[in-house]
Chains A and B, each alone.
Chain A
Amino acid sequence: MKRSPIIPALALVAASVGLAACGSDDSTSADGKTVVTWWHNSNNDPGKSYYEQVAQDFEADHPDVDIKVEAMQHEDMLTKLDAAFQSGDAPDVYMERGGGELAEHVDAGLTKDLSESSADIIGKLGGSVAGWQVDDKTYALPFSVGVVGFWYSKSMMAQAGVTTMPTTWDEMDDTIAQVKAAGMEPLSVGAGDKWPAAHYWYYFAVRECSQDVLTDAVTSLDFSDDCFLRAGQDLEHLVGEEPFNKGFLSTGAQDGPSSASGLLATGKVAMELQGHWEPGVMQGLTDDGLGLGDDLGWFPFPTVEGGEGDPTAALGGGDAWAVSEGAPDAAVDFVDYLLSDEVQQGFAERDMGLPTNPAATGSVKDPALAGLIKVRDAAPYVQLYFDTAFGQSVGGAMNDEIALLFADQASPEDIVSATQDAADAEK
């Protein structure tokens, strides 16, 4: 019996492994241009085509740079970013939401320090950059910072006989009753995605807790103050009024006409608690691309009687452009360009968000958004969404438990204890 060499077999194994390991350096394209990859979540018009235009304008001024734009749906983008960070192949320019998430990325050495290279722009943006600073260094440039509030259909509210928007929760209870009495569903909420439901609890906490308690909780992860419990009780009271759309437990946030945003955009509910991106989202959800258009109104989260929070404090957050650690210098230039007066003005004119560059705040056309900007700029502080501030692990546990309260399967105490347990596991 002939013993043939084992080499051919090994060669095959090596070849198939080699195929998988084969990678390529993607920082320069075939024609010698510097490639900058850019991921954003404006996957509907007008945002999508505006960003394509922005990239082309930048390329025209920088002939040696090639911007590779990828527009994705928000949740898809987050999943892909996670995978990209794990594989160490992150896009050069991407979105950071600040808080605990950013701190984790900075710890892992994934995000570039922009403090020096973008000092001019950072100076211009002023206090807005605070949410994207770790140890006094700025790691991302916020391009849209907004606050959460109630979006409503003016015509539906008028039909229900609501002429002045509620400013306290007692008035809000009356408003809900009035809309219900008129045979309409008052509120939609995407509890299927959990975070839209969680916003209610967050905002009740902002109303019930003093700023000191909240600021402290973000760093100490201590939720023993009584105000967190009261936030849950306020929410329990609201859920008990049954103000939400049918099927809210499985309703999505903003994907398609049957989502919470879609229900508002198509006139199926009167109000929705949602972030500043709502008009842009709704535009993508109606056939005419207008959303509710002029019929859209906004009012801030009502105040809670006896709450220790500042009545003008707001819950919000924003999105910032960050540059990954290994990105070429052109990526930093591009991010600076994205925050320039010109791009921010175009951004504002298209109602894509709430610009942070003061030169652009006047360009916001939508009256509802313009009103929202006033609330944002008048707020003594804007509390970052808790799930972002605490990071995914604590934030996720918190959101899950809040969603359970919406399903009548958790108590205000459970929310505090589940959050505290997840926080203790972090320590």
Chain B
Amino acid sequence: MRTAAEVLFFVSPALALFLLFVVWPIVKAAQFSLYRWRGFGPLSDFVGLQNYSTVLHDEVFRGAFSHNLFIVVGSIVLQLPLGLAVALLLNRRIRGQGLLRTIVFVPYVLAEVIAAVVWLQLLQPEYGAVDSLLSGVGVPVPDQGWLGSPDRALWTVLIVLTWKYLGLAVLLFLAGLQGVPQDVVEAAEIDGASWWQVQRWITVPLLGPTVRIWVFLSMIGSLQCFDMVWVLTGGGPANSTTTMATFLVNEGTKRHNYGIAAAASVILFVVALFFALAYQLLVLRRDTKGAAR
């Protein structure tokens, strides 16, 4: 049995970092959110919960929240079937399997900002590769460009995000597929099950825990979505792609309303925490039931 001091000794470095870089900023953000503060000078103008009320009544923030939900749902709806399909295909013995796996995974390895800059160039209206290609084959392109049209920009961002994060889904699903016992599959095959039937009734159900974990990661990532949106559109045009994170950065570093930005960040934190806990309780519980306490 370990002594308390031993536990403390091994845990304290990680704990110190956690306190310094996670807990401390949260505490500071909560503190800033109660003041009207321009970013420098002393914290002196206490306003209570007024910043929270400002944020919650702000149409741009409400829009940002709904955009986040759109990305949460859209990412799962697009990436889950696509990821499953690609993973199942790549799990078969085919020529160039390693190469194909690498190609699917490369976008995920790329830094999000770099991917965003590349797509920003590709999506330039008129002169960008995407528009040239599409108009070359006679597909009409929007006048303002894909990122410049308020009704298309969020979809465009979602599609780029799907391109970027499909690799993670495929990788996790492929790993999950290794855990599907081969003897069950063989037994089914001997009973005359087709490839489709094996996937439908054996592989996919046994992949459940992996899928549920992936949904969790994807959801949290979508709620915090920032880099891609910031580089591609900066939240525009006409606030059609703002997320909670771009809202708070805009209020903070652009407008110097650090109190309001802090309130928005606390709200983002609470929303993400709520989603995480609810998902843990409702969905993940059966996967973690047997885990060590």
Q: Give residues in A with beta carbon < 8 Å to B.
A: 1-6, 8-10, 12-13, 16-17, 20, 79, 82, 85-86, 104-105, 107-110, 191-193, 246-251, 258, 268, 391-393, 396-397, 400, 403-404, 407, 409, 425
Contacts and interface: CB of A to CB of B under 8 A. Distances in A.
A108 B5 contact: no
A224 B38 CA distance: 26
B148 A258 contact: no
20 contacts: A3-B4, A3-B5, A8-B9, A20-B20, A79-B253, A82-B39, A104-B256, A191-B236, A246-B126, A246-B143, A246-B145, A247-B148, A248-B144, A248-B148, A249-B238, A250-B125, A393-B257, A396-B254, A396-B255, A425-B54
B22 interface: no
Contact of B124 (A20, A109, A258, A425): A258
B150 interface: yes
B238 A403 contact: yes
Which interface class (under 10, 10 to 19, 20 to 34, 35 or more) fits B? 35 or more
A248 B128 CA distance: 14
A12 B40 contact: no
B237 A250 contact: yes
Given A247-B124, A249-B238, A392-B255, A12 B144 contact: no
A337 to B, nearest CB: 28
A250 B148 contact: yes
Nearest to B240: A407
Contacts of A9: 5, 8-9, 12
B8 A6 contact: yes
B39 A86 contact: yes
Contacts of B40: 85-86, 104-105, 108, 110
A250 B3 contact: no
Contact of A249 (B20, B38, B144): B144
B233 A397 contact: no
B12 A250 contact: no
B234 interface: yes
A247 B125 contact: yes
Nearest to B5: A4
B41 A5 contact: no
B127 A258 contact: yes
A16 B16 contact: yes
Interface in B103-162: 121, 124-128, 143-145, 147-150, 153
Interface string B7-24: 011001101110010000
A109 B41 contact: yes
Interface string B80-97: 000000000000000000
B210 to A, nearest CB: 36
- Per DSSP, are chain A's interface residues mostly helix, strand or loop, or mixed? helix
| Residue of A3, A9, A250, A425 most packed against chain B (CB within 10 A) | A250
B25 to A, nearest CB: 13
User: Closest 6 A-B residue pairs measured CB to CB?
Assistant: A247-B125, A249-B237, A247-B145, A108-B41, A407-B238, A250-B148
Given A85-B40, A86-B39, A107-B41, A17 B150 contact: no
Given A6-B5, A13-B12, A258-B124, A250 B236 contact: yes
A369 B39 CA distance: 37
A104 B5 CA distance: 51
B239 interface: yes
A391 B256 CA distance: 9
Contacts of B144: 246-250
B6 interface: yes
| Residue of B3, B17, B237 most packed against chain A (CB within 10 A) | B237
Contacts of A250: 125, 144-145, 147-148, 153, 233, 236-237
| Residue of B144, B149, B233 most packed against chain A (CB within 10 A) | B144
Contact of A17 (B20, B60, B126, B255): B20
Nearest to B4: A3
Given A4-B6, A85-B39, A392-B255, 19 more contacts: A12-B9, A82-B39, A82-B253, A105-B40, A107-B41, A192-B148, A247-B125, A247-B126, A247-B147, A247-B148, A248-B148, A249-B150, A250-B236, A250-B237, A251-B148, A258-B127, A392-B254, A393-B257, A407-B238
Contacts of B236: 191-192, 249-250, 403
Contacts of A396: 250, 254-255
Contacts of B16: 12-13, 16-17
A409 B85 CA distance: 41
